[in-house]
Structure 1
Amino acid sequence: MNYIYLILLWAVFYASHSFLASGKLKRKLESKLGKAYKWYRLFYSLFSLLFFVILVLYSIRIPAERILAEGDLLIYFGYMAASFGTIIIVQSSKMWSIGKFIGTRPEEPQTEKKLIRAGWYSRMRHPLYAGLLLIFLGYFFVAGTYSAMVHLACLIAYLPIGIYFEEKNLFAEFGDAYKKYREEVPAIFPKMRFW
């Protein structure tokens, strides 16, 4: 039963994430809230963080039942995957303002926004999702528990949905520029380049 609740918590977390990040909701709130809308991104970030902390705390109290046998090689690959995922997230986050991302700095006017195509964004459209996928995979290899497997499975199930809604917002924001970018650059798994 613990795992069903964990799946439900992830479902609510991801559903609220997609709903609160939707362009349609943001446009409605911006017209209704006026100048107070500048605080919406911070509210959204704090809500997501609080929900994530609750999810983690619930997950910690589930008794650990291993699904994978412990092994040095598996732990090594787990740490490597999680480290590489962290590197991707940290490096790709240098391309945009973290203050604007969490809502502590004001958004740029629509005319000043530019589509990022450099760094990791030149290899994949969603490096943050790719990094999270590697971190969750690494955690599953290291912990080897049913809970870690549920975390990974829920993320994998959500990725196509999250990408769909995020790209819907990006199409609305950047139009043909994003359409061209989408045709040239894969979503999560970069094209292998051989010399």
Structure 2
Amino acid sequence: MFSSTVILVFSLVIFAAIHSFLASLPFKRFLMRILGSRADQLYMPAFSLIAVITIIPVIYVLYKNPGPILYIVPAPWRWLMVGGQLIAALVAPRALLDAPHRFRIRGQLAGPHTREAGKLDIKGIYRWVRDPFLLSGLVIIWLTPFMTVNLLIIYILTTIYLYLGSLHWESRLVAQFGDEYREYQEHVHRFIPRLNPI
């Protein structure tokens, strides 16, 4: 049991290290030097594929060694939780569609009020919540209708990683959009949706 937990945590740390490195600005600057304008087109598909491949060992170890069961939520509550997970799973693609300019490498490397940085252009889901990826990630993991010891450990570590990643992403958005983003932060919460969109 203990050894499987150590392997699981180690696998998650390796995933987080690779994920963080590939998302870093120094790596993106390197890509821009090597690929030029093609970096923006190739980065997201390649990044997503590498993320899937590197999370597979974590899923495999967790599948083989889930640890003791802590609880299983009975029906009908189980189906409500799964429904919430499905709704949250639709948020991430929607977030990409609502703000593709936020994910362009050239814009992330630019300063505020430059042509490359672009305009913040708040629309869609971003009118309700600043970090829909954090929100959807937390909903998907914590609405799992069963829980084991190893799953709980992974969920706690993942929550910490997602939150720290959100802080880092926000600092990058402030660097990209300046006061425009700071004003947006004052009106919209990071992951608790507003009742009325801005």
Which sections of structure 2, spanning at least 5 residues, go unmatched?
A: 108-114
Within 1, Cα distance between the matches of 2:191 and 2:66?
Answer: 33
2:70 is paired with a residue whose SS is coil
Task: Provide closer, same or farther for how the CA distance between residues 170 and 28 of structure 1 changes in structure 2, counting only shifts above 3 A.
Answer: same
Residue 125 of structure 1 and its aligned partner are, at CA, apart by: 0.8
Identical columns (%): 22
TM-score, structure 2 as length reference: 0.76
Structure 2 residue aligned with 1:130, among 130, 135, 140?
A: 135
Query: Are 1:89 and 2:92 an aligned pair?
Result: yes
Query: Are 1:72 and 2:41 an aligned pair?
Result: no
TM-score, structure 1 as length reference: 0.77
Whether the 8 Å contact between 2:70 and 2:146 is mirrored in structure 1 is no
Q: 1:104 aligns to what? A: none
Within 1, Cα distance between the matches of 2:57 and 2:121?
Answer: 33
Query: Are 1:57 and 2:79 an aligned pair?
Result: no
Within 2, Cα distance between the matches of 1:36 and 1:50?
Answer: 26
Instruction: Give aligned pairs, total.
Output: 183
Structure 1 residue aligned with 2:26, among 11, 24, 27?
A: 24
Give the aligned residue type for 1:35.
G
Query: Are 1:9 and 2:14 an aligned pair?
Result: no
Q: 1:35 aligns to what? A: 36
Residue 67 of structure 1 and its aligned partner are, at CA, apart by: 0.5
Give the aligned residue type for 1:128.
F
Within 2, Cα distance between the matches of 1:165 and 1:85?
Answer: 22
Q: 1:181 aligns to what? A: 184
1:15 is paired with a residue whose SS is helix
Whether the 8 Å contact between 1:95 and 1:116 is mirrored in structure 2 is no
Which sections of structure 1, spanning at least 5 residues, go unmatched?
A: 102-106
Greater RCO structure (CA 8 Å; 6+ sep): 1
Residue 63 of structure 1 and its aligned partner are, at CA, apart by: 4.5
Residue 114 of structure 1 and its aligned partner are, at CA, apart by: 3.5
Residue 131 of structure 1 and its aligned partner are, at CA, apart by: 0.7
- Partner deviation per Cα, 1:12-70 (whole Å, 9 max, x = no partner): 22232222212233224423x25386244444333212101222222211145311144
Query: Are 1:121 and 2:123 an aligned pair?
Result: no
